[in-house]
Amino acid sequence: MARIGILGGTFSPIHNGHIYIAKEAMEQLCFDELWFLPAGIPPHKKIRSDISPLERLTMCEVAVDALTGARVIDDEIWKRTPSYTYETLECFHQKYPQHEFFFIIGEDSLDSFHQWVKPERICELATILVATRSANIANGLLEDKVHQVEAQFHGHFQLITSEYVDVSSTMLREKLAHRESIEEYVPKGVWEYIRMHRLYEDIMGLNKDLEKEIRKELKEHLKKSRYEHTLGVTYTACALAMRYNYPLEVARFAGLLHDCAKYLSDKEQLEYCHKHRIQVTEAEEKAPYLLHAKIGAYMAQHQYKIEDEELIHAIEVHTTGCPNMSLLDKILFTADYIEPNREEAPRLEDIRGIAFQDLDKAVYMILEDSIQYVKETNRPMDPTTLESFEYYKTQLHQ
């Protein structure tokens, strides 16, 4: 018989408080395994629709990865109906009759335990562990409460202590909405995942009116073929954003604006930079067409009042790439190369397929082919392209 601890929750997002409880429970009760059980549709809680079950599940998996003896169970998360604990426990008993189950709840859930569906049945199927801080046990009040609930539902309840500082998912979501870091409250991998995919962030200002205005201006200023290319990049960037789970509106605006400065001639671009004090490198001096990325980023910021730094950066590096690109940098860089109107590029078909399987590899191949093209056509080489190529070469061959 194996002893299994179960920690349920919405985990939106999972945080160090959860991890701490899991660790303490494992230690104090000598579990063979601890199961994190992310809820699908929890019966008592409203859940944000902009965070998908897959995202919550992935965050749990990332967090639990380094925790020996713990794993994530996805039995509830894909259900389309509310998850009731008694049902899940019945399922576990059927699937694993040899196991003994311990269900962990927070101290606050003790007060509402009578409102859960079939609390007696839950008590039949598992020992209930109530997680609290040791300071809360000192005065005996909590133990009295536990005894009351235990008697009411004929269950077996036990207190476990966890000393982790106060942290709640609600507080973390609020911080993230304001683009504040929550690095200190979540495992490293979870923070990286949230940052990369910009989860819980309120994306401001990228609305339909602005999009209309930009489309109108681009149509007026850009050559027809360039405008078609722009739309191709926009849709491809959106498709990649769907594939790699990135906010669509940001990808769409990046695509729309990436070549917004392309209507300027080489001479005009140099003049524009001079006038607006945009630094011009030696390579750009020799090949002013490279400048449209920098100028585009400047225009996005000052003319279209885009404040999203990640978006501005993606426009800025869309021709040369850069080492350690953000997810949006890579999406735009790749979309620019593979959009459906592009015809002549070696390995284009391969890169199109690979872009949807392994974005880093696609970026590497594009950089490799771009360098080859620059060499063959005797154009001046931008050192950033070479640096980016070396970076991704090392990354991929590690």
Candidate segments 145-153, 161-169, 257-265, 297-305, binder of Fe ion by CB under 5 A: 257-265
Nearer to Fe ion, 76 or 336 (CB): 336
Using only C-alpha atoms, the chain has a radius of gyration, in whole angstroms, of 27
Site string for Fe ion, 264-303 (x = CB under 5 A): ----------------------------------------
CB of residue 287 vs Fe ion: minimum separation in angstroms?
13
Distance of CA 69 to the CA centre of its chain: 26
> How is the beta sheet containing 3-9 ordered, strand by strand?
70-72, 33-38, 3-9, 100-106, 127-132, 157-161
Structure tokens at 215: 């489309």
Nearer to Fe ion, 259 or 284 (CB): 259
Check binding of 61 to Fe ion (CB under 5 A): no
Nearer to Fe ion, 7 or 355 (CB): 355
Nearer to Fe ion, 316 or 336 (CB): 336
Quick one: which of 103, 336, 352, 389 contacts Fe ion (CB under 5 A)?
Answer: 336
d(CA 397, CA 264): 40
Nearer to Fe ion, 43 or 340 (CB): 340
**Sign of the torsion formed by the C-alpha atoms of 321, 322, 324 and 328:** negative
Quick one: which of 55, 61, 76, 259 contacts Fe ion (CB under 5 A)?
Answer: 259
Site string for Fe ion, 216-255 (x = CB under 5 A): ----------------------------------------
Could you identify the residue written with the tokens 């490198």?
Answer: 281
Q: Verify cis geometry, omega within 30 degrees of 0, for the bond prior to 383.
A: no
Check binding of 382 to Fe ion (CB under 5 A): no
Backbone angles phi, psi at 287, to 5 degrees: -130, 75
Contact 24, 160 (CB under 8 A): yes
User: By the criterion CB under 5 A, which residues form the site for Fe ion?
Assistant: 259, 336
